[in-house]
Structures are given as structure tokens and as C-alpha cells.
């Protein structure tokens, strides 16, 4: 059996591919109850990290715990060596993510609805990743999955996977007149939106927008602050552990809300308080409006200039655990009307779509966009000036099954080339990156044959060498490849001598 794994901010949800059906996997928790997820929760028990259901029990007993490790992973500065502090200990983020996914793998084999099918079978999976995940997050997620024992067949952007689920469930709404779907994916910690063109089972992502720091966690914080206001105390008075406990209370209360709810009961510092639902929604509305502003590039302006759905969009598909809050669909329908469709399995939509992607008999294909550009700062004029050169545009079409490569050749003009790579979300009219710009590695490439030989032997420190202009440099080939997981590798080769440097651009 092949599986789709949605490693979520608060929950990890798995769906299976079973003869054209894609059921959500259920897990038995320590109390014997069936749950359609494993908590994405980490806690310290007797000084050691525990994960999933066991972490949930430990946190309930007051143990130091960590929610939303995926949001930490989305920080573009995170590397394989990055740590997070938990209960007075510094623990590697990569080890924690791998431990959590290893727990999911163990639950699949021992206490899930598909355990019998997986006794001796490999855990073949397609894994979801936020559309606007940085290269480091993609690589670390992939490495954690492999360390956990999963055989990763592909990584698919989460809103693209939800697009598969929409087509599978609502194929009748897509026709020659309305052949596109706009996916609104509000998860526990991230928000993504993708505009997808659908031709039968062939999907092409036309554009994506996202915010790696907007999700259900933020709604929890809004509700917790509403509760503090009702109790007349500040978060400082609660202390760090009290605030963490209140966030847990807020999350539980939020998830129990329905469209008929009028009051929210929450315990603050041992005291029961009530928050009017209307008050909470009023404070939370800016978060939904922030998501609308983020996805605005995928919409068209209506008569008053407000964002509207293009005429050829079959529907705005609302998915993700964060979208289960009634105010989200309410505000979206107020803005976009009847073409707003909320998935009946909003929290599991991505996992179901990933299971469809994992099913070789489903016949679904996907053409993606890079979503984040790659460029390089180069030194010129003997190191006196730095210029920026865009290499891979943010809307570059990439493949979910094959590597896409861009190659450039030129004559080197200096004895050493310094390449400082960055990822960026957008650029100005002159091609200079603006806003969210993050380092993604650097390479010093010797073009002088003597420096190449010294570098090969480890006898030359290029940082200590003067950059000088040359009369006639070697022919140089740069090759930038994007693999099916969205990870970029650079290869720089001196075509005259064959000297070559390769590097994955997933960390600085």
C-alpha cells in the first residue's frame, strides 16, 4: 500500500491508496480511542524526548512540550545543525522531526487501520510540503522522512495535493468554461494558495502565493488573548508555562466551535471565563484578511477594485485544519460568493491528495512552479563591485517527476569567482530581489589552473587570494538543476580543465 503523509503543524495525517479509494488512516491512541491523526507534538519525559500520543499524555501531565515544530522548520535560517530549547535542553530540530516521523511510522505498523497491510511492506509515501517552503525546509523534511524509515517517492506542494482531492471529489464542476481551481490552504502554521489549471487528471500550477507564518496557531493566540482580557490578567502574570497551557486550552476550545456557538468557555489560571464568539471572530478577522491579501495576485479586481475570482475558476477550494474555524468560510463566502467550496475533509484534504499522487493507477499528473526564485551576487571589476544575477525565476515551471535544469556558459573574467546564492520571493523592475531574501550557500570557484590544483590538494585558502582580472579566462558552464522535490543543486565546471564544484543550495 502506498501512502500520502501530510506532516502538519499540529497533526500528522495519513491517507492510503486502496484500489481507487483514498481512506484516511485511523490510529488507536493509548486510551483505545480511534484518531484520524498523530499529534505533531514533542515532549520531554524523564529528560528524553517523546512524540505523538505519548507526548500528548506527557504534556497533559505538565511535561515541557513543543508544538508546531513544523513552523520552526519553516524558518529559512534553519539548517541541519539548528537547535531548539526544550525543558532546559538544546535539541536538534532535524532529530526532533525525524523522531516524530519515526513515531508516525511505528504507529502505522502497529496501531493503525492499515497495520495488517504494512507488516512487512516498505513504507512507500508521497509527502506534502508547503508551496513556499524554502530549500532548507524541503531538504530537512526529506532527510527526516528517510531517517524515520519512509521510502519517499515524491514531495508534492500541499495546495497542489489538495487540488488533486478537489478534482477527485468534484470532477463534475470542472469543464471547458471553468477549468481552473483556486486552492485556499490554511493549515495549523502556514498558509498557501495555488491557482491550478485542470485538464482531466492533468494539473498545472499557474501560480502560488503563501505565508509561512500564518495559520491556526495564530488564531489560538488571538483566542488566548481574548481569554486573558476576560480574566483581567496579562500573559506575563501567567508565566511561560501558564501561557503555553492557555494556548493548549484555546486550541481545544477553538476546535470545538461550530457555526451555532455563541460563547467560548476557557480556564485561565484556574478560573473559568467566557469569551463571546463574536468578540473572538472580530479579533481574528484580520488574520483571514491577511490571507486574502496574500492570495490577491491569483485573483482579479471586481468593479470596486476588491479581489474576485476569475470567471474561468470553477471554485475556491478551502482546505487545511485552520480553515475549519467557521469565520474563515464565512468571510470567504462574503467575499467570493457561492463558488467557495469547503472540503468535507478539510484537515485531511492534503493527505488524501497525496495518496492520489502516490497511486500509480490514478493517472494524475502535475506540472508545478518553483514559487521562490534563485539568484546570485557576483563580484566584478576585480572585486570592487557586486552585481545580482537572477538564475531561476519564481514562476519557473518544474516537474513533479523529472529534474529541470538551466545551463549558462561564458568566459571567466577573473582568477576566482565568488558566488553568493540567495532565494527570493519577488524582484523589482530591474531584477533586484526585494523583501524576503535568504542566503542559500556560497561557492568560491578557482578559474586559475594553479589555484585549482592547490584547492584540490587543500593547500590553497581562496579567501586569502586577491581577485584579479584575467585577459582570457576559461570557458565556464554553470548548471542549475531543480529535482522533483524542489531542491536546487548547482554545478560549476571549467570546460577547459574539467575542474568541477557541486553543491546543494539548501543552506548557507
Per-residue pLDDT of 454-472, as tens digits, reads: 999 989 899 888 888 888 8
pLDDT confidence of residue 400: 76
Helices (DSSP H) in 256-361: which residue ranges? 277-295, 326-336, 349-358
Both 358 and 463 in one domain: the answer is no
Both 15 and 138 in one domain: the answer is yes
Both 188 and 314 in one domain: the answer is yes
Both 429 and 477 in one domain: the answer is yes
CATH number at residue 98: 3.30.420.40
pLDDT confidence of residue 327: 94
Both 411 and 494 in one domain: the answer is yes
pLDDT confidence of residue 67: 86
Both 43 and 167 in one domain: the answer is yes
Q: What 3-state class would DSSP assign to 258?
A: coil
Of the candidates 327, 350, 368, which is a domain's last residue? Answer: 368
Both 30 and 122 in one domain: the answer is yes
Both 327 and 437 in one domain: the answer is no
pLDDT confidence of residue 442: 87
> What pLDDT, in 10s, does the model give residues 227-243?
999 999 998 888 888 88
**308: nearest Cα among 300, 297, 319, 298:** 300
pLDDT confidence of residue 212: 86
Q: Is residue 166 part of a domain?
A: yes
Q: Is residue 424 part of a domain?
A: yes
Q: Is residue 474 part of a domain?
A: yes
Q: Is residue 446 part of a domain?
A: yes
Q: What 3-state class would DSSP assign to 384?
A: coil
Q: Is residue 344 part of a domain?
A: yes
**306: nearest Cα among 342, 283, 284, 332:** 332
Both 393 and 408 in one domain: the answer is yes
pLDDT confidence of residue 346: 92
What CA–CA distance (Å, rounded) separates 229 from 226? 5
Q: Is residue 268 part of a domain?
A: no
Of the candidates 337, 368, 399, which is a domain's last residue? Answer: 368
What CA–CA distance (Å, rounded) separates 476 from 319? 47
Q: Is residue 225 part of a domain?
A: no
Of the candidates 345, 368, 391, which is a domain's last residue? Answer: 368
Are the CB atoms for 233 and 202 separated by under 8 Å?
no
pLDDT tens string for the chain (508 positions)? 899 999 999 999 999 999 999 999 999 999 999 999 999 999 999 999 999 999 999 998 889 999 889 988 888 778 888 899 998 899 999 999 999 999 999 999 999 999 999 988 899 999 999 988 888 889 899 999 999 999 999 999 999 999 999 999 988 889 889 999 999 999 999 999 999 999 999 999 999 999 988 999 999 999 999 999 999 999 888 888 888 889 989 999 999 999 899 999 999 988 999 999 999 999 999 999 999 999 999 999 988 888 999 999 999 999 999 999 999 999 999 999 988 999 999 999 999 999 999 999 999 999 988 888 889 987 665 545 677 888 998 888 888 778 999 999 999 999 999 999 988 877 777 777 776 778 888 899 999 999 999 999 989 899 888 888 888 899 999 999 999 888 899 999 999 999 999 998 875 4
What CA–CA distance (Å, rounded) separates 298 from 100? 35
Both 309 and 456 in one domain: the answer is no
Q: Is residue 155 part of a domain?
A: yes
Both 423 and 361 in one domain: the answer is no
CATH number at residue 452: 2.60.34.10
Both 55 and 72 in one domain: the answer is yes
What CA–CA distance (Å, rounded) separates 375 from 98? 31
Are the CB atoms for 353 and 170 separated by under 8 Å?
no
- Number of folded domains in the chain? 2
Residue 268: all three cell numbers together: 485561565
Range of the domain at 497: 370-504
Amino acid at each position: 500500500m502506498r501512502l500520502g503523509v501530510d506532516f502538519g503543524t499540529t497533526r500528522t495525517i495519513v491517507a492510503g491508496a486502496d484500489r481507487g479509494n483514498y481512506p484516511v488512516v485511523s490510529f488507536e491512541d493509548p486510551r483505545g480511542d480511534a484518531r484520524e491523526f498523530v499529534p505533531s507534538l514533542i515532549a520531554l519525559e524523564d529528560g528524553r524526548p517523546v512524540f505523538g500520543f505519548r507526548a500528548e499524555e506527557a504534556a497533559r501531565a505538565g511535561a515541557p512540550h513543543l508544538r508546531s515544530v513544523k513552523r520552526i522548520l519553516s524558518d529559512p535560517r534553519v539548517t541541519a545543525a539548528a537547535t531548539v530549547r526544550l525543558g532546559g535542553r538544546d535539541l536538534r530540530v532535524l532529530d526532533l522531526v525525524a523522531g516524530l516521523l519515526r513515531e508516525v511510522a511505528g504507529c502505522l505498523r502497529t496501531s493503525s487501520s492499515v497495520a495488517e497491510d504494512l507488516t512487512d511492506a516498505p513504507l512507500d509515501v508521497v509527502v506534502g510540503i508547503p508551496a513556499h517552503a524554502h530549500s532548507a525546509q524541503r531538504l530537512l523534511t526529506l532527510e527526516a522522512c528517510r531517517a524515520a524509515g519512509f521510502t519517499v517517492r515524491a514531495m508534492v506542494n500541499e495546495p497542489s495535493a489538495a487540488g488533486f482531492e478537489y478534482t477527485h471529489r468534484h470532477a463534475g464542476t470542472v469543464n471547458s468554461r471553468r477549468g481552473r481551481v483556486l486552492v485556499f490552504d490554511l493549515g495549523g502554521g502556514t498558509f498557501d494558495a495555488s491557482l491550478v489549471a485542470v485538464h482531466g487528471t492533468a494539473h498545472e500550477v499557474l501560480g502560488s502565493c503563501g505565508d509561512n507564518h500564518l495559520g491556526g496557531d495564530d488564531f489560538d493566540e488571538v483566542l488566548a488573548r481574548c481569554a486573558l482580557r476576560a480574566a483581567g490578567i496579562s500573559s506575563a502574570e501567567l508565566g511561560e508555562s501558564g501561557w503555553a497551557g492557555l494556548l493548549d486550552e484555546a486550541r481545544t476550545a477553538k476546535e470545538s466551535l461550530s457555526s451555532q456557538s455563541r460563547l467560548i468557555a476557557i480556564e485561565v489560571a484556574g478560573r473559568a471565563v467566557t469569551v463571546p464568539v463574536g468578540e473572538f471572530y472580530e479579533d481574528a478577522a484580520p488574520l483571514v484578511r491577511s490571507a486574502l491579501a496574500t492570495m490577491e495576485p491569483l485573483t482579479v479586481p471586481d468593479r470596486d477594485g476588491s479581489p474576485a475570482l476569475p470567471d474561468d475558476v470553477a471554485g475556491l477550494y478551502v482546505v487545511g485544519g485552520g480553515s475549519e474555524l467557521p469565520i474563515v468560510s464565512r468571510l470567504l463566502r462574503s467575499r467570493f460568493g457561492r463558488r467557495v467550496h469547503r472540503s468535507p475533509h478539510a484537515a485531511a484534504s492534503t493527505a488524501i491528495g497525496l495518496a492520489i499522487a502516490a497511486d500509480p493507477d490514478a493517472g494524475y499528473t502535475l506540472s508545478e512552479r518553483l514559487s521562490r526564485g534563485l539568484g546570485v551576487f557576483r563580484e566584478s571589476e576585480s572585486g570592487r563591485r557586486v552585481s545580482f544575477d537572477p538564475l531561476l525565476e519564481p514562476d519557473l515551471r518544474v516537474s513533479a517527476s523529472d529534474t529541470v535544469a538551466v545551463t549558462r556558459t561564458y568566459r571567466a573574467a577573473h582568477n576566482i569567482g565568488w558566488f553568493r546564492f540567495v532565494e527570493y520571493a519577488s524582484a523589482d523592475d530591474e531584477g533586484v530581489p526585494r523583501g524576503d531574501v535568504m542566503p542559500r550557500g556560497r561557492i568560491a570557484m578557482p578559474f586559475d589552473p594553479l589555484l585549482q590544483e592547490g584547492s584540490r590538494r587543500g593547500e590553497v585558502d581562496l579567501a586569502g587570494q586577491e581577485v584579479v582580472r584575467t585577459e582570457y579566462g576559461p570557458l565556464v558552464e554553470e548548471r542549475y538543476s531543480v529535482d522533483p522535490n524542489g531542491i536546487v543543486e548547482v554545478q560549476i565546471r571549467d570546460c577547459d580543465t574539467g575542474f568541477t564544484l557541486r553543491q546543494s543550495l539548501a543552506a548557507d
